[in-house]
Amino acid sequence: MSGTAVQAPDGSPDHPFPVRAVAVRVAKWIDRLGIVWVEGQLTEIKLRSSTAYMVLRDPAADMSLSVSCSAELVRNAPVKIAEGTQVVVCGKPQFYTGRGSFSLRLSQIRAVGLGELLARIERLRKLLDAEGLFDPRLKRPLPFLPNLVGLITGRGGAAEHDVTSVAAARWPGVRFAIRNTAVQGPTAVAQIVAALRELDGDSEVDVIVIARGGGSAEDLLPFSDETLCRAIAACRTPVVSAVGHEPDNPLCDLVADVRAATPTDAAKRVVPDTVAELARVAELRHRSARALRGWVDRELRQLSQVRSRPALADPMRLVTERAAEVTRAVAAARRDVTRLVAAESDRIGHLAARLSTLGPAATLARGYAIVQTLDGSAAEGASVLRSAADAPAGTVLRIRLADGAIGAESTGREGAA
């Protein structure tokens, strides 16, 4: 064997690979990958005389690839190449050993059809709906008068002016925490999500408005991004979506707590109208005062009706009427009693006269006498003499006259008269 040491095939701490060897091996391995088809958004487009350098970004993740192609391929592409253009490209992965960089050399550029984009949005809509992110029961009510309104919109755009000017006109004291972000293109989703999380973490912000003016379906793609929709659903602060115009309906409208047709409509929903509220307060005060006066008038009428009743209008009338009735009843009772007493007195007088006439005293006064026989000397044994046979000679008699009684003795029966 030769005295030269044999290097380990995979390198070792004692015999490491030189950089060139690793770079060559990586380049050979990547070269075996062949061509690939990739979809993404083009950003950082730089055109040189013959070569174009771009970055192909994943719209749903913070990942990107460096791509290059001939400038002619960019000029002849089926879609206008600009920041945020969604494309499908065919390229061969390459590893440049001199710089140690990876790139994708493009051979074809194809546009992503609008129909395909809308189909993907529809599939995402069904997925989010199945997960319950559109459930109306999860929608949070907006505060009547927010302390601070968070506004996410493009810098210097009409949407920011519409929201702030309309809200200030409706409620001059409204305050805004404005976060200017990209509202289209490859960086829009990341910036909007970051601003959304920042405002949601601020305890003073009571409501968040995401506003953008109208645009094409491709321009509004960031607002149908899954990452943004889930970020809105995770917010603790109520979110108002005011993206595009009335016909536009990105997915963030369905996830947000309130959908506004336009940024102007969002301002009207977020803050109350001072003039309208003052008019409403005045109307309510007028209605309440009128209701109170009506109630007082109704109660006064009822009280007057109650007071006009005879029992309350002349409380002593009942006593007076009853007193007269009692007086009349007493007089009638007295007359009846007097008449009854007089009648009974007369009847008693008549009975007394009849009794006197029929009594023994009257008979004795006319000269008659009552003869009694006495058994011994006891007066209690006296009995009225009814027959001459009952008084033989020698019978002791008692003769009662009108003015007294005398004693006598029978001499016997005399001849008939």
Helix (H) or strand (E) holding 57: strand 51-57
Beta strands in 144-245 (DSSP E): 149-153, 176-180, 207-212, 239-243
172 in Cβ contact with 274 (< 8 Å) = yes
Residue 174: closest CA among 152, 151, 146: 146
Q: Do 74 and 109 form a contact (C-beta atoms < 8 A)? A: yes
Strand order in the sheet with 258-259: 176-180, 149-153, 207-212, 239-243, 258-259
Q: What is the mean pLDDT of residues 226-235?
A: 90
- Chain segment 328-378, per-residue pLDDT in tens: 899 999 999 999 999 999 999 988 888 877 777 777 877 788 888 887 554
Going by pLDDT thresholds of 50, 70 and 90, the confidence category of residue 8 is very low
From the list 243, 244, 242, 245, the residue with the least C-alpha distance to 267 is 242
Distance (Å, whole) CA 105 – CA 85: 18
Residues, the chain: 417
CATH of 19-112, one of 1.10.3720.10, 3.30.420.40, 2.40.50.140, 3.40.1190.20: 2.40.50.140
194: number of CA atoms within 13 Å, CB side? 11
Type of residue found at 338:
T
Assess contact for 99 and 68: CB atoms under 8 A.
Answer: no
Residue 275 has pLDDT above 90, yes or no: no
Check residue 417 and give its pLDDT: 47
Provide the residue ranges of all domains of the chain, joining segments of one domain with +. 19-112, 118-272, 363-409
Rounded CA separation 273/259 (Å): 19
Q: Which residues 6+ apart lie within 8 Å of 175 measured at CB?
A: 147, 148, 149
278-291 pLDDT, tens digit each: 888 899 999 999 99
Torsion angle in degrees (nearest 10) through CA of 162, 165, 171, 177: 80
Residue 243 CA to residue 159 CA, distance in Å, equals 9
Q: How far apart are CA 54 and CA 83, in angstroms?
A: 10
Poorest-pLDDT segment among 94-98, 131-135, 201-205, 321-325: 321-325
Confidence of residue 180 (pLDDT cuts 50, 70, 90): very high
- Which one has a higher pLDDT value, 226 or 119? 226
Q: Report CA-CA distances (Å) from 407 to 140, 340, 371.
A: 139, 49, 10
C-alpha count within 13 angstroms, C-beta hemisphere, residue 31? 8
Q: Is 118-272 a CATH 3.40.50.261 domain? A: yes
Q: Classify the phi-psi angles of 251: left when phi > 0, otherwise alpha if psi is within -120 to 50, otherwise beta.
A: alpha
Q: In what order do the strands lie in the sheet containing 404-409?
A: 383-384, 370-373, 396-401, 404-409
Range from 26-35, 196-205, 219-228 that averages highest in pLDDT: 196-205
Structure tokens at 96: 């440049």
Q: Residues near 145 by Cβ (< 8 Å), separated by ≥ 6?
A: 171, 271, 272
Whole-number Å distance between alpha carbons of 157 and 243: 13
Distance CA 68, CA 189 (A): 25
Mean pLDDT of 299-313: 83
pLDDT at 248: 65
Question: Does the pTM exceed 0.85?
Answer: no
Name the H helices within 7-157: 19-31, 71-75, 114-130
Average pLDDT of the residues of the chain: 84
Residue 111 — φ and ψ, nearest 5°? -80, 145
Burial of 3 (0-12, 13-18, 19+ CB in 10 A): exposed
Residue 6's pLDDT is 44
DSSP letters, 345-386, are HHHHHHHHHHHHHHSHHHHHHTT--EEEE-STT-GGG-EE--
